[in-house]
Amino acid sequence: MEIPLTISSTQEALKRKKIKAVELVDAYLARINSLNSRLNCFLTVSEESAYTKARKVDKLIEDFKEKAFDDYPLLGTCVSYKDLFLTEGIRTTAGSKVLESFVPAYSATYVDRVNKAGGITLGKTNCDAWAHGASGENSDFGPTKNPWNLDYVPGGSSSGSAASVASNLTLWASGTDTGGSIRQPANFCGVVGFKPTYGAVSRYGVVAMASSLDSMGHFTKCVDDAERIFNVTKGEDGKDGTVKNAKFTMPNARLRLGIPEEYFIGGIDKEVEENVRKAAKVFESEGIELVKVSLPHTKYAISVYYIIQPAEVSSNLGRYDGIRYGNQRESFGEEAKRRIMLGTYVLSAGYYDAYYLKAMQVRSKIIQDFEMAFKKVDLIIAPVSPTPAFKLGQKASDPLQMYLADILTVAGNLAGIPGLALPSGFTKAGLPLGFQLLGPRFSEYVLFELGKLYERAVDYKPNVREI
């Protein structure tokens, strides 16, 4: 059976009774059983609950016909969740041996909303332990492989989610983006990656990495799917005090796209830069005005991020003491220990003012840079990563080099703004290339509009890797 690649095509096939939801689950599980041993995308496959939900979906369609799709906007869509998202009755490990056998008693708000909208959960995807990583190699359960070349990383920390969508083991998948962990793996795997504004989607029930930076988003095969899912997951839930029912910006008649000079610095791979500039020209040919902008404090973003983020990590991981649940702290991996120690150090007496407080002050400058730029332009276009996907093991022994893989994404998290990563071709070696669009807070629908415009302009077709 040929599996539909988008939400619209999946639901159209269900409406016309070309397929049943149970048959979709059959097809996805067959691919998972066939390919997961090579890719290591899934840590847990929830076969029984998937079939139970699929049968309910088929019954809804039989009883209510097309009206069922109005009442349940994600009806029949098969989803996998990054293993940070709590899923009632389904194991949640955060990619760590500390939580190897933890089964939560409730689901995250994000998961609950998708379930109520008709989504079918296939399972939980691999990730860097506690979301600490930029390659997928820090999972305590082994690295995920890039579907386009199994010798390369898929990006991290949402490695399994990105790779599972790219290899069509699932229609779409959730992810978290704390410093680029949706946009970067989407870029490395050739899929669409969406990071919402901080405060647009509830973090309740998602294992926290850095609480002032974490954003709950998703991976899809097209921009329209990203928008449909956001319409379900956004908004207040009464459980996350940072979330509000915001007034979202809508597209203007005449849009301006900023090109930040600081994102095209030395060290950017030539194929990456050429690809992003080519994408900018596509927008220009569609009537979008290109404007040069400056974000002068970008050069400090990675330093600021690796002070603030470990500080919050050390606080959040303090609860995993092996007393109430989980294994003993000896189960923490090397990267988790590194970040706990670094974070504890910058928060300690005598160093707080010198490091953490100073980093927060520079964070304010980075936010101001974006605010000034967005007075001139509606959105910004930039590379996602300085390089395409790199080889497994290439940076694993050098934490500093691994941290620098996030150099072009962390500023967006520090500013709390939304981002959309789009695939836009391949390197000469056959690895995916792409770019990111960044917008002011709560400009998600402007991002979606420009993303769909790009897809129409280049006659974009989803890139699914057949292994």
Q: What is the DSSP string of 176-202?
A: EESSSTTHHHHHHHTSEEEEPPTTTB-
* Span 298-334, pLDDT tens digits: 999 999 999 999 999 999 999 998 888 889 888 999 9
- What b/e string do you get for 309-321 counting C-beta neighbours within 10 Å, with b at 16 or more? bbbbbbbbbeebe
pLDDT of 266 higher than 80: no
Residue 202 · residue 244 · CB < 8 Å: no
Closest to 444 in 3D by CA, of 416, 425, 407: 416
How far apart (Å, rounded) are the C-alpha atoms in residues 346 and 339? 11
Q: Catalytic pick from 46, 96, 157, 314?
A: 157
- Residue 353 has what DSSP assignment? I
Structure tokens at 6: 């988008």
* Span 71-123, pLDDT tens digits: 999 999 999 999 999 999 999 999 999 999 999 999 999 999 999 999 999 99
Structure tokens at 98: 């500390």
Catalytic residue at 181? yes
Catalytic residue at 157? yes
How far apart (Å, rounded) are the C-alpha atoms in residues 8 and 461? 14
- Residue 209 has what DSSP assignment? S
**Domains and their CATH numbers in the chain:** 7-299+363-457 (3.90.1300.10)
- Report long-range pairs for 359-364 (Cβ below 8 Å, ≥24 apart): 359/303, 359/304, 359/307, 359/308, 360/308, 362/297, 362/300, 362/303, 362/304, 363/304, 363/308, 363/414
pLDDT at 141 (0 to 100): 98
Q: What is the DSSP string of 132-190?
A: --SSSTT-TT----BTTBTTB---SSSHHHHHHHHTTSSSEEEEEESSSTTHHHHHHHT
Structure tokens at 57: 């979906």
Q: Catalytic pick from 80, 159, 181, 215?
A: 181
Q: Catalytic pick from 20, 53, 82, 145?
A: 82
What's the whole-number average pLDDT of the chain?
A: 96
Catalytic residue at 443? no
How far apart (Å, rounded) are the C-alpha atoms in residues 123 and 23? 17
* Span 164-176, pLDDT tens digits: 999 999 999 999 9
* Span 2-52, pLDDT tens digits: 999 999 999 999 999 999 999 999 999 999 999 999 999 999 999 999 999
More confident residue, 466 or 342: 342
